[in-house]
Chain A
Amino acid sequence: MRQNSVNALTKSVIFEVEIKNTIQLMILIQSPLKSILVNLFTLLATAWVGAQTTISGIVTAKNGTPIEGANIYLDGTYDGASTDASGAFSFVTEEEGVQTLVISYVSYEPFMMAADVSQMKNLKIALREDVNSLDTVVISAGTLEASDNSKVSVLKPLDVVTTASALGDFVGALQTLPGTTTVAEDGRLFVRGGDAGETQIFIDGIRVFTPYSPTTNNIPTRGRYSPFLFDGITFSTGGYSAEYGQALSSVLLLNTVDEPDQEKTDVAVMTVGGGIGNTQKWEKSSLSFNTSYINLAPYIAIFPDRNDWDKPFEAVAGEAVYRQQLKGGLLKVYAAFDSTNFKLTQEDIDLPEGLDFQLKNYNFYTNTSYSTDINDSWKLDAGGSFTISKNDILFLDNNIENRENSAHLKVKLRKRFSNRFKLSFGAEQFITDFTEDFRNPEFSDNYGFNNNLSAVFAESDIIFSRKFALKLGLRGEYSDLFDQYTLSPRSSVAYKTGKNSQLSVAYGDFYQQPFNDVLKFERNLEAQHTQHYILNYQYVANNRILRAEAYRKTYDKLVTYDTEFPVTNSVIQNNGDGYARGFDLFWRDNNTIKNVDYWISYSFLDTERMYRNYPVAATPSFANKHNLSTVVKWWINDWKSQIGFSHQFASGRTYTNPNVPGFLQEKTKAYNSLSFNWAYLISQQKILYFSVNNVLGTKNINGYQYPSTADANGNFNRRTVRPAADQFFFVGFFWTISKDGSDNQLDNL
């Protein structure tokens, strides 16, 4: 950028010089001989004798420290010098008149001064620090970055596939970060006392409407998308930018790779299925696709679990990304299709013969984004997504068929006024069309809704100095369904307290519409609301990160209803409220022990809410007070192996015991799981991967089920709900075939 403007300046200067020369030549040619000679001598004289000007001065930092090695020159000329140890410089030029003096030095803003060369003597120039440089304060409250390019990255994209407990699911890897709670039977992200639906996921800034594969009770879901397609993950556990809305607790931002490294074919053979992928590159474009087939039947035949499977879990998935560079911009088209189906009978205390459940899901998602620099200071991002999701569910003799069509359109403009002041603003539209058919022998019904939501947002970044930065944002939304306007201010401030440490504070208002399970029965509602207050401290040095964050959230307008779950005749209202408060600690270190990288997250959570069918405010069963996770990765060079461990500890979760008075008044025992993985590089292109979840076979308890009616003695005898299987084994073989044969599987490690 800087170079460009200097180049542009240079070009115009050169152009002027050329014009001068041409004019002089023309004069020469037109003049009589005498004048030619006179002119010639004058010219020669000026060139050889006169008009040599010495330019000199001293360059320092703002605080007066001399800068050594700064580059000083007259723009568009060869005349210049470097500063010495005392910051002094001096050089001779033959240029005359007004010239531009440029001073540049790494991590300082370039200095330019236009003046007559004769006045460029004994200059005293103090350079301003470049606020784009590395040690500038970063607004960090609430945000956890997983990226190679970010200044402060708590997680790296590769951690998704190398964290022992994650099994290649990016959501699984995020569950080792602070602010999340362990809800083993669910698999989705629960953040700081919020329900899983309070977290929204975005790919390249565009919303994903159905991010998880659907599943049933007590079988954890997985994120739908392959971690290899993303090179940046930002996980915000609160206080996020005004650009993102419709999320009460958290946003997860995934960015797809801009340009793949190489043409290759990937083959995966696993105990649970297989996959094949291919990447093709052309001069200005590239195409990657990935397909996978997962079938748990052979695995369940060898290691039966607590469910009685008629049709074990089967999934077919395919994704493709096409990228095209257009003049100054990049177009990305992403499409993913997957189909899941399974049928099983689960234990149920009210049904001696068990609960039959069958599910078929088809999901299609496409996302197009375009990003371009309009000029040096304006940037445009535009995009849209479209989802079709179809579920066909059969349980007992009830048949539910639903279909969701959703779209998101978004445009955002960014204007850079200077390195210190940036403004972005945009508009977006969400459209959802949901229909559901419910049928059983006695009853059938059909219902659904259309939901249109429009939003505008604006945000400014003000960097006062390397030490002090401020972000102010405002988001306005209009819901067509509720005919409701909402306004959410957001702000955060960061201050650098030392060379490696900083303090940030954030505040924000967040609105989110009730979820589909409620909207399909009741539209006379309004948006649920929460406020976040966050205080964050961060210390980053030598590959070590310490992050401590305290927060408080207040909820209001939460959805309540008077039946066990929402049905056609439920009374559904916005009468709920609640709070969540606590603190998170995170420590990552890959410096102290050679070849060992480890991190520890601890979260303390205190929350209560009145929502759904709660008779009183209580701690929901998805919230645990203490969460501790430890992840260790050890690279053993002699074995060509990476060995990893991860341990999750979560204190007990609440449940209601109908034998004693109260609601959600008792707690399960604590959850413990130690996972192990081993990745062995057979050669550059072949990797063998082995992992076990819950190595120690700890008997964890997800909760208890009580019968709907008491026995003859008036007692409710409970059934313990355990995970479908205590342990999970995985063996996979991955092979990358690329053109030159020396590329390797390291990037899959």
Chain B
Amino acid sequence: MKKLLLVCVVLISTGTFAQSKYQQGMEKAFELWGADKPWEAANLFERIAQAEPENWLPPFYVAQINVFNSFGESDKEKMIAQMNKARDFLNDAKSLTKDNPEILVLEAQLLTAWVVYDGQQYGMKYSPKIAELYQQASVLAPENPRVVLGKAQWDIGTARFFGQPTDKYCADIEKAIALFESEVPAGEFHPRGGGEYAAQVLQENCGN
């Protein structure tokens, strides 16, 4: 009878917890994102974020979708609204994890989006901050491919702006590509991948 009781408890626990709505939700969100429905994915990540208030990943992805979609957004007001939303969720994510290179990279990307929005105004204001963020990230995680790639891209942009040679950063992009190939994500649903994008960046900047 005791065994039966134990079985019951286990059954119930599995019924309640093991199939994990969190995993289902995250998988579904990535699926939507992959199916080119970023805003539905963002909404789902946002719903997961409020159901999982101690987990930095859902708000991180809400912020990331908003940042990525700000680049190339032609409606300036919409772009500002997205960047502000990204800032809110990035702050939420930040408060849940410490010294996280992924957060630093995303923050640098968010500030880069502001620079793209109005280079004259924000270029001057944010470039030192962006450089500082990549610097911090590469101290924390020198082997994180997204850190290596992001920093290399930023350095190339800056060098190009000042008319300096950019070739020395190509090695960094190649290093990032190698790191992407061997990358083991830090945990379930943790940021990963970006290898194809890195190859594209290499092609654009260092292709013969």
Contact = CB atoms under 8 A, between A and B. Distances in A.
Given A148-B125, A640-B162, A71 B47 contact: yes
Contacts of B88: 3
B132 interface: yes
A685 to B, nearest CB: 10
A742 B158 contact: yes
A683 B163 CA distance: 9
Among B25, B50, B85, find the residue whose CB has the most chain A CB atoms closer than 10 A: B50
A75 to B, nearest CB: 7
Interface string A105-143: 011000000000000000000000000011100000000
B195 to A, nearest CB: 25
Interface in B57-114: 76-77, 80-82, 85, 88-89, 92
Contact of B80 (A75, A104, A134): A134
Contact of A10 (B8, B51, B129): B51
B121 interface: yes
Interface string A670-681: 000000000001
B12 to A, nearest CB: 7
Given A148-B122, A743-B127, A640 B43 contact: no
Given A3-B88, A44-B15, A33 B121 contact: no
Chain B binding site: helix, strand, loop or mixed by DSSP? helix
A312 interface: no
Interface in A719-748: 738-740, 742-744, 746-747
A741 to B, nearest CB: 9
A743 B47 contact: no
Nearest to A162: B124
Nearest to B15: A47
A322 interface: no
A743 B128 contact: yes
Contacts of A397: none
Nearest to A683: B162
A82 B85 contact: no
Interface string A25-36: 100110001001
B48 interface: yes
Contacts of A261: 128-129, 132
B48 A78 contact: yes
A68 to B, nearest CB: 9
Which has the most chain A C-beta neighbours within 10 Å: B40, B134, B164?
Answer: B40
B50 A746 contact: no
B120 interface: yes
A744 B127 contact: yes
Interface in A33-88: 33, 36, 40, 43-44, 47, 69, 71, 73, 75-78, 80-82
Contact of A21 (B16, B134, B155): B16
B154 to A, nearest CB: 8
Contacts of B77: 134-135
Contacts of A33: 1, 4
B50 A75 contact: yes
A524 interface: no
Q: How large is the interface on A (under 10, 10 to 19, 20 to 34, 35 or more residues)?
A: 35 or more
Contact of A36 (B8, B85, B128): B8
Contacts of B47: 71, 73, 78, 80
Contacts of B206: none
Given A7-B50, A73-B50, A134-B77, A635 B120 contact: yes
A7 B46 CA distance: 11
A36 B124 CA distance: 69
Interface in B161-200: 162-164
Contacts of A76: 50-51
Contacts of A73: 47, 50
A43 B76 CA distance: 52
A228 to B, nearest CB: 12
Contact of A6 (B24, B50, B122): B50
A669 interface: no
B60 to A, nearest CB: 14
B128 A40 contact: no
A543 B76 CA distance: 11
Given A21-B16, A25-B9, A543-B118, A681 B50 contact: no
Contacts of B123: 746
Interface in B19-67: 21-22, 24-25, 39-40, 43-44, 46-48, 50-51, 53
Contact of B43 (A69, A77, A264, A749): A69
A590 B119 CA distance: 11
B131 A262 contact: yes
A742 B155 contact: yes
A684 B129 CA distance: 14
Nearest to B85: A106
A112 to B, nearest CB: 12
A61 B5 CA distance: 54
B205 interface: no
A10 B50 CA distance: 7
A156 interface: yes
Which of A11, A25, A749 gathers the greatest number of chain B CB atoms within 10 Å?
A25
Contacts of B134: 740
Interface string A219-231: 0000000000000
B196 to A, nearest CB: 27
B132 A743 contact: yes
Contact of A747 (B89, B127, B158): B127
B120 A590 contact: yes
B48 to A, nearest CB: 7
B92 A78 contact: no
B40 A82 contact: yes
Nearest to B16: A21
Most chain B beta-carbon neighbours within 10 Å: one of A44, A135, A635, A746: A746
B183 to A, nearest CB: 24
A746 to B, nearest CB: 5
A158 interface: yes
Nearest to A104: B46
Nearest to A69: B39
B144 interface: no
A7 B53 contact: yes
B124 A746 contact: yes
Contacts of A28: 5, 8-9, 12
A356 interface: no
Nearest to B39: A69
A67 to B, nearest CB: 12
Interface in A224-276: 261-262, 264
Nearest to B155: A742
Interface in B129-168: 129, 131-132, 134-135, 155, 158, 162-164
A158 B162 contact: no
A587 B160 CA distance: 34
B131 A134 contact: no
A69 B81 CA distance: 14
Contacts of A11: 53
A21 B43 CA distance: 28
A681 B123 CA distance: 14
A78 B80 contact: no
20 contacts: A3-B89, A10-B50, A10-B51, A29-B5, A36-B4, A36-B5, A40-B8, A71-B43, A80-B47, A135-B77, A590-B120, A635-B120, A684-B158, A738-B128, A742-B155, A743-B128, A743-B131, A746-B123, A747-B124, A747-B127
Given A73-B47, A262-B129, 11 more contacts: A6-B50, A11-B53, A36-B4, A36-B5, A69-B43, A78-B48, A134-B77, A156-B121, A738-B131, A744-B131, A747-B127
Task: In the A-B complex, list the 4 residue pairs whose CB atoms are closest, starting with the nearest.
Answer: A71-B43, A740-B135, A262-B132, A261-B129
